[in-house]
Amino acid sequence: MTPNTGFGWILGAAIVAGLGLFGYQLSNAAVTFKEYERSVTVKGLAEREYQADIVIWPLQFTVADNQLESLYQTLESNTHKIREFLVDAGIEKSAISYSTPIITDKSAQQYGGDMPVKYRYTASQTVTVYTDKINNVRAVMNNISQLGKQGIVFSGDYYQAQTEYLFTRLNEVKPEMIEEATKKAREVAEKFAKDSDSQLGKIKRASQGQFTIGHRDKNNPHIKKIRVVSTVTYYLSD
C-alpha cells in the first residue's frame, strides 16, 4: 500500500465516522424536538341565556270583495283598527309601520279555468311592530283576539308573518364568554396533564369558535341561548 492509498483510507474512515456522529446528533435533536412538541388540544364551552332586546311582530290580515273601491275601504278601516288597538295597549306610534297592500284579481289569473269564485278581489296588508318593549308586545299578543271579534282575519300561518326576536348585544357579552370558555378549556387541559403525569405548558395555538344564537326552546323564542366554543392547544412536558 502506497502512502497516498493509506492516507485515502484514513480520510474515508474519518468522513464516515463524522457522518455517523452527525446523524446521531440529528437523531437526538429530532427526539428532543418531538418531545418538546408534545401537546394537547382541548375545547371549552360557554353558554348563557339572555332575553331578546328587539321584537318584530308582523300582523298580516286579508280581505276579500267584488268591488275594488270597497276593498280598499276595508283595508283602511282594518289598518286603523289595528293601529288604535296597538296604541291603546301602550305601543308607540313610531314603532308601527305599514306595508303596501297586495291586491289579487282572480278574474285576471290564467289558471283556474272557468271555476266561479265568490270574490273577485283579495288583498293582504301587514302592520308591523318593531320595538324593544318585548314584555309589552307579548302581553298585547295575548289579547289579539279582540281584533278578530271586530271582523279582522289574520293570516299568521304565512312565513313572512312570523314574529322574530333579536338579540343585538352580542358585542357586549363576547369578552366575558370568551374568557369563560378559555378558562374551562384550561381546566380540561390541566386534568389531562395530571392524569398523564405531565406538566401543562404555554399555549401553542388558540382559536375562538363561532358564536351561535338560538331559542332556548320552541315555546320561549324571546329567550336566547348564546354559546361559544374555544379550542386551545397547550404544550406538555414531563
Per-residue pLDDT reduced to its tens digit, 150-164: 999 988 655 567 899
Q: What is the DSSP string of 85-145?
A: HHHHTT--GGGEEEPPPEEEEGGG-SSSTT---S-SEEEEEEEEEEES-HHHHHHHHTTTH
Query: Whole-number mean pLDDT of the chain?
Result: 84
Q: What is the mean pLDDT of residues 56-77?
A: 95
| 191 or 32, greater pLDDT | 191
Same domain, 202 and 219: yes
Same domain, 97 and 126: yes
| 187-213 per-position pLDDT tens digit | 999 999 999 898 999 999 998 888 999
Identify the three-state secondary structure at position 225: strand
Q: How far apart are alpha carbons 93 and 131 in whole angstroms?
A: 10
pLDDT at 188 (0 to 100): 93
Same domain, 157 and 58: yes
Task: Give the pLDDT band of residue 109 (cuts 50, 70, 90).
Answer: low
pLDDT at 117 (0 to 100): 75
Same domain, 74 and 151: yes
Residue 135 belongs to what domain range? Answer: 54-166
Task: Give the pLDDT band of residue 126 (cuts 50, 70, 90).
Answer: very high
Same domain, 85 and 128: yes
Identify the three-state secondary structure at position 57: strand
| 34-63 per-position pLDDT tens digit | 455 688 999 999 999 999 999 999 999 999
pLDDT at 164 (0 to 100): 94
pLDDT at 59 (0 to 100): 95
Task: Give the pLDDT band of residue 25 (cuts 50, 70, 90).
Answer: very low
pLDDT at 115 (0 to 100): 65
Tell whether the model's pLDDT for residue 181 goes beyond 50: yes
Instruction: Spell 148-187 as b/e; 16+ CB within 10 A means b.
Output: eeeebebeeeeeebebebbbeeeeebeeebbebbbebbbe
Q: Which of 160, 139, 134 is nearest to 55 (CA)?
A: 134
Q: How far apart are alpha carbons 118 and 219 in whole angstroms?
A: 38
Same domain, 126 and 147: yes
Identify the three-state secondary structure at position 22: helix
Tell whether the model's pLDDT for residue 105 goes beyond 50: yes
Measure the CA angle with vertex 231, ends 228 and 235; round to 5°. 155
Q: What is the mean pLDDT of residues 98-118?
A: 77
pLDDT at 152 (0 to 100): 93
Q: What percent of the chain has pLDDT over 90?
A: 65
Which of 166, 183, 215 marks a domain boundary? 166
What is the distance between the terminal CA atoms of the chain, rounded to a whole angstrom?
A: 55
Residue 222 sits at φ, ψ, to 5 deg, of -80, -10
pLDDT at 6 (0 to 100): 53
CATH number at residue 128: 3.30.70.2970
Q: How far apart are alpha carbons 58 and 178 in whole angstroms?
A: 35
Same domain, 32 and 43: no
Same domain, 28 and 68: no
Extract the C-alpha cell encoding 141. Answer: 299578543
Same domain, 148 and 196: no
pLDDT at 113 (0 to 100): 55
Tell whether the model's pLDDT for residue 225 goes beyond 90: yes
Residue identified by cell 308586545 is 137
Residues 6+ apart with CB under 8 A from 169: 50, 53
pLDDT at 38 (0 to 100): 84
Which of 166, 193, 214 marks a domain boundary? 166
Q: What percent of the chain has pLDDT over 70?
A: 79
Extract the C-alpha cell encoding 176. Answer: 366575558
**Total domains in the fold of the chain:** 3
pLDDT at 27 (0 to 100): 40
Sign of CA dihedral 103, 104, 107, 110: positive
